[in-house]
Amino acid sequence: MTADTGSTPLMVWKVQAGPTAYEHLQQHGWNWHDFEVVIGASAGPRWLVLSALDRVLAPLLQQRSTPLHLLGSSSGAYRFSAYVQSNPVQALQNLEQSYIDADWSPIRPQNMIRESAVGIVRSFLERKPLDHPTYRLHIVTSLCHGWLAWPQKWAQIVALLFGVALNAVSRQKLQYIVKRLLFSDPRNPLPARLHDLPTLKADLNEANHFDAILASGAIPVLIPGERDLQGAPPGLLRDGGLVDYHFDQFHLHGEGLILYPHFSDSLQPGWLERYGRRRRIPREVLDRVVLLSPSQEWLKKLPGGRIPEREDAAHLGQRERRRLWSESARRGQDLAEGCLPDRFLQDLTIFPAD
């Protein structure tokens, strides 16, 4: 829970819980088997500070007799697809290294950036998604309509601006440009109520897993989407973060707790809400959530005093950007070493009231 800075111990984790989760942990203690769902948000390169933690959690959480749902969009889909590999620790190491080594420069043609994404997925994906005895993988993508489905960058930009205006009126009005398309392990349905947006579902399988990962991370304007995936409704799919950015509107139900390892101590507005009015997070969304996030004190010790950002690819040279991202991922070992249930319980707080 602490990192040795050469002087006073540094608190590395902040632990917050919803009311039901808080009460459960206070009464019963921390038991990894009590978690029913793990969430991986859209994060871009910010996920790199969690990479070492993932290498601890992936083999740890699979040591159970009941299924565990892994729900991810964009980089969360990458991470959890590595979890279901036969050697998740090696898969996550390969994912981290290939992600850092890739050329993310926005001045490159979209097809070249897509090839970088293809190389990343190939670096770690070798196991069929339905072979894992414990994990049940669910990948969020966005089914696009109108100009958002066009290949031209100008059309996508106009569509996104239109989406900001629609979202300012009502989140449900986003359906005019995008719907949620959820690829799920058919062995166990995801315990969720999805009424905020029209939601389509497709069975995740060997034939569409690779393309579903690519689609979930296909950032508009930067990376071309994926079209007409096997077994899914036809159309162009883009970044899952368009509909589920930090899953702050995703209604999960069930009896178990929800584990949310996150790079931030707060859930940010949706991808399109960054530029408009932020909506309240429904209380029931947070009720059973346990949010694990790096402390602000720890984040300030990272290179440049911050976590990696996608904009680094545009503002830094490749060598400096790779150095910064590699060092941030290395520093994430503090978080992995601080993955101690007893300390989590000591530092546990309840989410602040609205």
Residue 305 has pLDDT above 50, yes or no: yes
Q: What global pTM score does this model have?
A: 0.94
User: What pLDDT does 160 receive?
Assistant: 94
Task: Provide the phi-psi class of 343: left if phi over 0, else alpha when psi is between -120 and 50, else beta.
Answer: alpha
pLDDT mean over 134-156 = 96
Domain ranges of the chain: 2-350
For 38-48, what is each residue's pLDDT tens digit?
Answer: 999 998 899 99
Phi, psi of 133 (to 5 degrees): -75, -20
Report the pLDDT averaged over residues 21-28.
96
The predicted structure's pLDDT at residue 256:
93
Average pLDDT in the 151-175 region?
Answer: 91
> For the residues 88-104, what does the mean pLDDT come to?
96
Reading the block at residue 282, the tokens are: 């429904």
Over pLDDT 70: what percentage of the chain?
Answer: 95
CA distances (Å), origin 301, targets 159, 288, 293, 295: 39, 31, 15, 10
Residue 168 has what pLDDT? 84
Residue 78 has pLDDT above 80, yes or no: yes
Hey, CA dihedral for 229, 232, 237, 239, is it positive or negative? Answer: negative
How far is the CA of 243 from the CAs of 70, 72, 189, 288, in angstroms? 17, 12, 20, 21
The pLDDT confidence band at residue 129, using thresholds 50, 70 and 90, is confident
- Residue 349: other Cβ atoms inside 10 A: 11
Is the confidence at residue 135, as pLDDT, over 90? Answer: yes
pLDDT at 251 over 50: yes
Taking residues 7-31, what's their average pLDDT?
A: 88
What is the average per-residue pLDDT within 127-132? 84
- Of the CA atoms within 13 Å of residue 192, those in its CB half-sphere come to 26
Phi, psi of 322 (to 5 degrees): -65, -40
pLDDT of residue 128: 80
pLDDT at 326 over 90: yes
What confidence tens digit (pLDDT) does each residue in 229-239 have?
A: 999 999 999 99
pLDDT of residue 8: 45
Quick one: tokens of 345?
A: 């319980």
What is the reported pLDDT for 274? 67
Residue 199: pLDDT band with limits 50, 70, 90: very high
